Amino acid sequence: MDGPRNMLILVTGGAGFVGAHLVRRLLGRGNRIIVVDNYFAGSKDNHVSGAEYREGHTKDIERLVPEDVDLIYHLGEYSRVEASVSEPHVVWDLNVVGTQAVLEFWRKRGCKLVYAGSSTKFGDGGLTRNTSPYAWSKAANTELVKNYGEWYGLPYAITYFYNVFGPSERGSGPYATLIAIFKEQYKKGQPLTVVSPGTQLRNFTHVDDIVDGLVLVGEKGEGDEYGLGSEKMFSVLEVARLFGTDIVMLPKRQGNRLTSGLVTEKSRMLGWRAQRTLEDELYTFLSGHRGAQPFERRVLVLATTFYPIMGPAEEALVELMRLMPDVHFDIVAAAYARGAKRSVFPVPNATVHRVGWGSPIDKYLLPVLGYFKAKSLSRKHRYLFTWSLTAGHAALAALWLKRRLKMPFVVTLADQDLHAKRPIFAWILLNMILRNADQVFATEMGQEDTAIYLASRARLRESIGEGDAFANQLRFTYRDILRKHTKATPSL
C-alpha cells in the first residue's frame, strides 16, 4: 500500500486512536502533516513526532489552518453510538457544525477530501442509520460530502470503518471501544459486560488494516462506499467467550444494531483486504496477561430512601436489578418510615440495608449511619465503586467513603431538580458533592449543563480506574430505564 507522498496533508482528529496510526503512516512517506484536534476523545499521548498539532475545534479550521493543503482526512468527529443518545448537543456541535466548517474549508481549497463515515449507516439492512444522534449525523454527512463533491466539482472518497481494534485503543472512559473494554476488564479481574442479546454481529478490523485502506483510498479512491472491514464476523458474546472468563449480561440499549452490513466491494477492487485477525490479537494479548483476582459481581448503592418508599429513581433501579439477575446489589438506605425495616424486598439479587429508626429524621442521619454501614460492607466485599442514585443525603455518605477508604464515587442525578429552592447550606452541600464526585451522570443535557455550572468544573467525569467500564455500562442502561419511568411519572 504505497499511498500519497511529499504532500501537505491535514488530518482532523489526528490525536485519536485511528488518527494517530494514520499520521504515523503518512509521515513515513515523506508528507508534511498538520493535525487539528480538540482532544475531546483524542489524547496528547498519541502525538507522533514530526507532525504539527494545532489544538482547536473543527468549526475554527479556517483560522487554525490558513495553508492550502493537498489532501484532507476528516476523522475529527464524535464517534460513539450509545453515548450519543444522551449527548445530542455534543454530536451536533462536533458532527454538524464542525463538519460543515471542514467542508467549506475543502471547497475553498479545491483539494481531495477523504471522509470517515460510519458503518452504522448499513446496519440491520440500513434500519439503524436513524436510531441514534451519532448514526443519523454520520449518515447525513456522507450525503453532504457527496453533494459538495457534485455541486462544486471536488474530488472526494468516503470510507466506513468496522469495529476497529489494535494498539492504543481506548479501554476506559465513556468513549472506550469494545475490545479495549474487554481487555481492561480481563486484566483487572472483572467479569466482561455484554449488552443483550449478545448475538450482535460485528466485523472486527485491525487498525493497521484500516490505515492500509485509508492511504490507498487517499491515493486512488473516488466516490462513496469504501468499506474497511474484516470479512469474518463474530457475535459480541463469542468475542467475550474467547477471553475464557466470567461474563455479565446487560439489558438491551438504544442504538445497538444487530448486524454490521459489510460493504467492501469498492475497497477490494482497489486491492484492499483485511490481513490481521481478531483471534491473533487476542491470542497475543492473553499470552502476555493473566487475569487479576476476580471482583465479586456486586454493586454498592446508596439511596436516601428505598422500598417501600419509591420514586422514579428507585423504580428504575429495581427494573435494572431485575434485568441483571447475575449481579448482586447491596443498597444502603434510610429506614425513614415505621415498618420499613420489616418489609421484604421482592428482588432476589438485592439486599436492602436500612439504617435509622423508622423516622423521617433518618435521612438526615444517613450521611453518618450510611457511611458506617457501607464501610462495614466494603470490608466483606470487593466493590469497584460506590453509586449514589442522586446528589443528596446518600451522596454525602459516599463522599465520606471516598475520603476515608479511597473508594471511587459515582452519582446519577436521576430526576433530581437542580433548580429547586434550597436553604443556603443545602446549596453548599450540593456543590461539594458535584465537585468531589469522580463521575456525575445526568439524564438530560440541560441537567448536565446545570451540574457543570454548579460544580464549577469543566467536565463531570474523570476516570475511576478499574471501575470505569462497569460504571459506564450501568449508567447507560440505568439512564434508558429512568427515562421511561420519568415519562410515565411526574418529577418528585
Per-residue pLDDT averaged across 234-250, rounded? 89
* pLDDT of the residue at 144: 97
Q: How confident is the model at residue 265 (pLDDT cuts 50, 70, 90)?
A: very high
* pLDDT of the residue at 255: 60
CA distance 94 to 17: 17
Give the model confidence (pLDDT) of 266-318 as tens digits. Answer: 999 999 999 999 999 998 999 888 766 666 788 999 999 888 888 888 899 99
Percent of the chain with pLDDT over 70: 93
Residue (of 38, 100, 102) closest to 69 by Cα position? 102
* pLDDT of the residue at 492: 27
Given a cut of 90, whether residue 37 has pLDDT beyond it is yes
Given a cut of 90, whether residue 66 has pLDDT beyond it is yes
**Grid cell of 28 as nine digits:** 513515513
* pLDDT of the residue at 235: 93
Give the model confidence (pLDDT) of 406-419 as tens digits. Answer: 899 999 988 888 88
* pLDDT of the residue at 70: 97
Give the model confidence (pLDDT) of 128-146 as tens digits. Answer: 777 789 999 999 999 999 9
Using alpha carbons only, give the angle 399, 402, 405 rounded to the nearest 5 degrees. 140
Give the model confidence (pLDDT) of 355-389 as tens digits. Answer: 998 888 998 999 999 999 999 999 899 888 999 99
- Structural domains in the chain, CATH included, are 8-288 (3.40.50.720), 298-486 (3.40.50.2000)
Preceding peptide of 308 cis, ω within 30°: yes
Q: How confident is the model at residue 491 (pLDDT cuts 50, 70, 90)?
A: very low
Q: What is the mean pLDDT of the chain?
A: 88
* pLDDT of the residue at 124: 65
Q: Cα torsion for 377, 438, 46, 167, to the nearest 10°?
A: 30
Alpha-helical segments (H) within 39-132:
61-64, 88-91, 98-109, 123-126
Given a cut of 70, whether residue 463 has pLDDT beyond it is yes
Q: 298 vs 123, 147, 191, 292, 375, CA distance in Å?
A: 34, 52, 11, 16, 15
Preceding peptide of 490 cis, ω within 30°: no
* pLDDT of the residue at 448: 81
Rg (CA), the chain: 24
Give the model confidence (pLDDT) of 312-353 as tens digits. Answer: 888 999 999 988 888 899 999 998 776 666 777 888 999 999
Give the model confidence (pLDDT) of 181-199 as tens digits. Answer: 899 888 888 888 898 888 9
